[in-house]
Amino acid sequence: MSKKHNSSPEITELETKLDQARKGGGVQRIEKQHNQGKLSARERIDALVDAGSFEEFDMFRLHQNYDFDMEKQRYLGDGVVTGSAEIDGRPVYLYAQDFTVNGGSLSRTHAEKICKVMDMAMKARVPVIALNDSGGARVQDGIDSLAGYGGIFQRNVTASGVIPQITAILGPCAGGAVYSPAIQDFVVMSKSHSYMFVTGPKVVKQVIYEDISSTDLGGAEVHGQKSGVAHFISEDDREALFTIRRILSYLPQNNKKPAPYSPPADKPERISRKIASIVPDDNHRPYDVREVIAEVVDSGVFFEISQGFAPNIVIGFCRMNGHPVGVVANQPKVKAGVLDIDASVKAARFVRFCDAFDIPLITFVDVPGFMPGSQQEHNGIIRHGAKLLFAYAEATVPKVTVIMRKAYGGAYIIMNSRHLRGDVVYAWPTAEIAVMGAHGAAEILFRKDAGKTSDPEAFIREKEEEYENLFSNPYRAAERGYVDHVINPEDTRPKLIRALEILAEKQELEPIKKHGCIPL
């Protein structure tokens, strides 16, 4: 067979088409992206993946809609760049929507490209990453666009708990488009130019007469602090893409593979002289639980998730002797670490993610109970609090708990107690494990008796001290076997590492069922 010369018409045609596809909607539209502080779709991919590793698919796909003069708006690739790549040497599949082509709107062809790459990710059992920048459904495609979203949603659900799914919102994301990110594992939003909402400001104004901007309705800070939809907020595209790389560094390729080990620079037997001084003796005084976490984890590195949402509970990833671990911790610095609706949902979702991907859990406990009041009760604190209970009880990964100070009432049970199959429960000598605080208990138990004395307040103080001696300590729980060991706080790190090492091959025998019915 004769070999074709590189300057043959066929090769020239190929190079021309490749150049066309790479330009998306054209140089001027790419420049407009740059002027807005945004990268182009291909620039985002180049910034995210290992150099030279991206293999693109379906560059030459074209939409097949000729209604509304759409034959004049046909661009190679149809507004989404799809393919495979490597991140830190590990394979991934990904897609990046191209706003320069019809505003990144989703047509039938656009959706088919996304569905194809998601199917390939599932077959290969590797993570899938979405870089969203789209005006939503392509109106000219009508029902075909909606069908396309449905196909994406179904694949998101099928892949959930099998392969990690991460999405970055790097521009608009509106209407039905928002539900794909919502059912993925982690959402990163760019503060400078991203927003998400089901219904945009114009329709909101028409229907309920509320005048609101896109940023105030669904900007990054709204979803990072109020709704909890966004797990990470970045300053710009590049920081968002770096965040995705960092998330992946803690995650396995799929639910059958181990999370990536990283040789530690820290000693497993390291003790902390500082840790006990972080937690005040006065149980009414606040402190930052992240300082405790930093004293325990490898090299003090803690990768916090959803930092701005429900800050009365802290969640995130760390490494313990090189192995990725999920951390859940009450935060006494905010609302005294109380569990409310948002905190319960935030922690429950994280616990279920870690369980799905076999990432062990450490729980640091300092919780006075559930948030009281009509607002919480009427909005469903019972139902939402039960989500966290369900998540911990259902989880079969290694689960180790450290009770540092308060552990009161139902919140004590829910925060990975032994009663919910916590594998190892440690308590510090400062731990107070009881139905409630001593003052409240004394008032309930001895209110009538106090009225019969000459000094009711002194009588209650005496009974409060008596209750503290009996219950506001870890030893009554240890006597019953509910606490496995009361430890010196400075030994927390080596104790946790040993517990996790011995639990590494843990197995739980579960009854056969399709799935549990979590109180959604």
**251-292: per-residue pLDDT in tens?**
999 999 999 999 999 999 999 999 999 999 888 899 999 999
- Examine the pLDDT at 2 and tell me if it is beyond 50: no
How far apart CA 67 and CA 89 sit, in angstroms, is 44
Residue 36 lies in a domain: yes
CB 175 within 8 A of CB 137: yes
Give ∠ CA 271-274-277 in degrees, rounded to 5: 130
The pLDDT tens digits for 429-461 are 999 998 877 667 767 776 777 667 777 777 777
Pairing of strands 432-434, 323-330: unpaired
Is position 5 within any domain? no
- Could you give the percent of the chain with pLDDT greater than 70? 95
Count the domains in the chain. 3
As a whole number, mean pLDDT of residues 132-138 equals 86
**Domain-embedded: residue 352:** yes
In a domain, 266, yes or no: no
CA-nearest of 318, 340, 339 to 327 is 318
- CATH assignment of the domain containing 104: 3.90.226.10
Kindly state whether residues 313 and 190 are assigned to the same domain.
no
pTM beyond 0.85, yes or no: yes
What's residue 465's pLDDT? 75
Residue 161: pLDDT band with limits 50, 70, 90: very high
Residues of the chain above pLDDT 90, percent: 74
The overall average pLDDT reported for the chain is 92
Statement to judge: residues 238 and 347 lie in one domain:
no
Q: Catalytic residue positions?
A: 175-176, 410-411
Name the CA radius of gyration of the chain, rounded: 27
Please report which confidence band the pLDDT of residue 176 belongs to, taking 50, 70 and 90 as the band edges.
Answer: confident
Structural domain for 232, as ranges: 27-248
Q: Is residue 20 situated within a structural domain?
A: no
* 110 and 72 co-located in one domain: yes
Same domain, 240 and 151: yes
Q: Taking residues 362-386, report their average pLDDT.
A: 96
46 and 145 together in one domain: yes
| DSSP 8-class letter at 361 | E
Indicate if 76 and 201 belong to the same structural domain: yes
Would the pLDDT of 70 be above 70? no
Distance CA 406, CA 384 (A): 22
Question: Does one domain contain both 352 and 450?
Answer: no
Q: Are residue 344 and residue 366 in the same domain, yes or no?
A: yes
Say if residue 345 is in the same domain as residue 213: no
Predicted pLDDT at 450: 65
Tell me the three-class secondary structure of 38-99, residue by residue. Answer: CCCHHHHHHHHCCCCCCEEECCCCCCCCCHHHHHHCCCCCCCEEEEEEEECCEEEEEEEECC
Using CA atoms, how far apart are residues 505 and 134, in angstroms rounded to an integer?
Answer: 44
pLDDT of residue 455: 73
164 and 217, same domain (yes or no):
yes
Q: What is the pLDDT of residues 235-246, one digit of tens each?
A: 999 999 999 999
179 occurs within a structural domain = yes
Residues 464 and 401 in one domain: no
* 213 lies in the same domain as 321: no
